Amino acid sequence: MSSIRYLVLHDTRYHYSSRVSLAYQLAHLWPRACLWQRCHQQQLEIGPVPAYREDGLDAFGNPLTRMAIETPHDELAVAARLEVEVFRRPGLSPQQSPAWEQVRAALGYTGKPVDNRLFEAIRYRFESPYVHLQQAFSAFGEDCFSRARPLLEAVQALMEKIFSEFTFDPSATQVATPLLQVLERRRGVCQDFAHLMLACLRSRGLAARYVSGYLLTRPPPGQPRLIGADASHAWVSVFCPVHGWVDFDPTNNLQPELEHITLGWGRDFADVSPLRGVVLGGGSHDPEVRVTVIPASEAGSWPELAGLFGSP
């Protein structure tokens, strides 16, 4: 199979304990145009209807919706509806990549002009709000980065190490949980594992970016797929001068393929949060998020999806 077409539903609803009089929101809910995927249809429904809305790009080239809601409201609902086709990516051999030290040297400052690809990659070498560079992270991946080891082979080993030594635990962390605490407790979620892998790579002088998107999840044998039971996903992309950007998913110990849908990328979660903003009023509030990823070929089995984009 060379490609798979998906329907994606991403519903976010905020219930406020007191009325919001004014809200400014940024939404990363439309997929980025990539060589390995194509968005055929997209809809974004917002309630209350914004007084101002602008669809454009952010500083990293990701689709971004800016909106201002000036109608007083007790609830905010944002619903994204996507039809995305994902294509199989070209295979590559991790052994056929430069030594990781060679790549690190190329990303360092030399005072000489660099080409645009390298210049773009360099900004993903440094600290960011959720990814700090510390010796502890470099030490954690020490056994993966032996001398002259091919870059992608070393990165693959780091991915496998995180997968084998950490436990997926949704109750173990929050968005702002420090990475050193994640490293110490060896528990977290996909966002934590992506941030940890970024910290390990950047602490060695390598360029790596945070990728936000969706993953097709499969229900247990004999159980039906449930509408709204999926979630956003996160993984890592590493710059290799020979192959360009190469993706790795430490949560699942694999390289993303036909079952990963890319929304966008940045330095860390803060750059590509699905929905964030500033509100005047509102009191306490927690988002209710429901995500569904379904192959379009299965959509006919779900009355809830009837008329989403017409017949797939």
The domain total for the chain is 2
Can you give the CATH number for the domain in which 210 is found? 3.10.620.30
CA dihedral 245, 251, 254, 257 (to 10 degrees): -70
Q: Which two tokens stand for residue 165?
A: 């030594």
Residue 267 lies in a domain: no
Choice among 38-42, 52-56, 59-63, 296-300 with the minimum mean pLDDT: 296-300
Residue 176 lies in a domain: yes
Please compute the mean of the pLDDT values over residues 195-223 and round it to a whole number. Answer: 91
When the pLDDT of each residue in the chain is averaged and rounded to a whole number, the result is: 90
Same domain, residue pair 81 and 101: no
Spatial separation of the C-alpha atoms in residues 188 and 172, rounded to whole Å: 6
Same domain, residue pair 134 and 67: no
Q: Is the pLDDT of residue 231 over 90?
A: no
Q: Report yes or no: 260 and 233 within 8 Å, Cβ to Cβ.
A: yes
Residue 301: band (very low, low, confident or very high) from pLDDT cuts 50, 70, 90: low
Residue 238 lies in a domain: yes
Q: Which two tokens stand for residue 288?
A: 């209710």
Choice among 39-43, 208-212, 271-275, 296-300 with the minimum mean pLDDT: 296-300
Please compute the mean of the pLDDT values over residues 77-90 and round it to a whole number. Answer: 94
Share of the chain above pLDDT 70, in %: 93
Long-range contact set of residues 189-193: C-beta below 8 Å, sequence gap at least 24: 189/251, 190/233, 190/234, 190/235, 190/251, 191/234, 191/269, 193/162, 193/163, 193/166, 193/234, 193/250, 193/251
State which of 169-183, 210-224, 273-287 shows the largest mean pLDDT: 169-183
**Higher confidence at residue 176 or residue 304?**
176
Residue 17 lies in a domain: yes
Other CB atoms within a 10 A radius of the CB of residue 89 amount to 17
- Whole domain around residue 75: which residue ranges? 3-87+272-305
Choice among 110-124, 141-155, 250-264 with the minimum mean pLDDT: 110-124
Spatial separation of the C-alpha atoms in residues 46 and 63, rounded to whole Å: 16
Other CB atoms within a 10 A radius of the CB of residue 10 amount to 25
pLDDT given for residue 227 in this prediction = 60
pLDDT given for residue 299 in this prediction = 72
Strands 208-215, 260-266: pairing kind: antiparallel
Q: Which amino acid is at 184?
A: E
Q: Is the pLDDT of residue 167 over 90?
A: yes
Same domain, residue pair 107 and 81: no
Same domain, residue pair 24 and 116: no
Same domain, residue pair 41 and 99: no
Spatial separation of the C-alpha atoms in residues 167 and 171, rounded to whole Å: 11
Same domain, residue pair 57 and 109: no
Same domain, residue pair 145 and 67: no
**Higher confidence at residue 272 or residue 225?**
272
Same domain, residue pair 64 and 105: no
Residue 131 lies in a domain: yes
- pTM to 2 decimal places: 0.92
Please compute the mean of the pLDDT values over residues 7-35 and round it to a whole number. Answer: 93
Q: Which two tokens stand for residue 199?
A: 């910290």
Same domain, residue pair 131 and 248: yes
Please compute the mean of the pLDDT values over residues 140-152 and round it to a whole number. Answer: 96
pLDDT given for residue 312 in this prediction = 36
Residue 125: band (very low, low, confident or very high) from pLDDT cuts 50, 70, 90: very high
Same domain, residue pair 7 and 72: yes
Same domain, residue pair 78 and 200: no
Q: Is the pLDDT of residue 91 over 90?
A: no
For 242-293, what is each residue's pLDDT tens digit?
A: 999 999 999 999 999 999 999 999 999 999 999 998 999 878 777 899 999 9
Can you give the CATH number for the domain in which 295 is found? 2.60.40.2250
pLDDT given for residue 23 in this prediction = 93
Residue 311: band (very low, low, confident or very high) from pLDDT cuts 50, 70, 90: very low
Name the residue among 37, 28, 35, 45 with its Cα closest to residue 6.
Answer: 37
Residue 123 lies in a domain: yes
Residue 243 lies in a domain: yes
Same domain, residue pair 30 and 14: yes
Residue 311 lies in a domain: no
Put the strands of the sheet holding 244-248 in their side by side order: 244-248, 232-240, 208-215, 260-266
Beta bridge partners, 238, equal: 208, 246
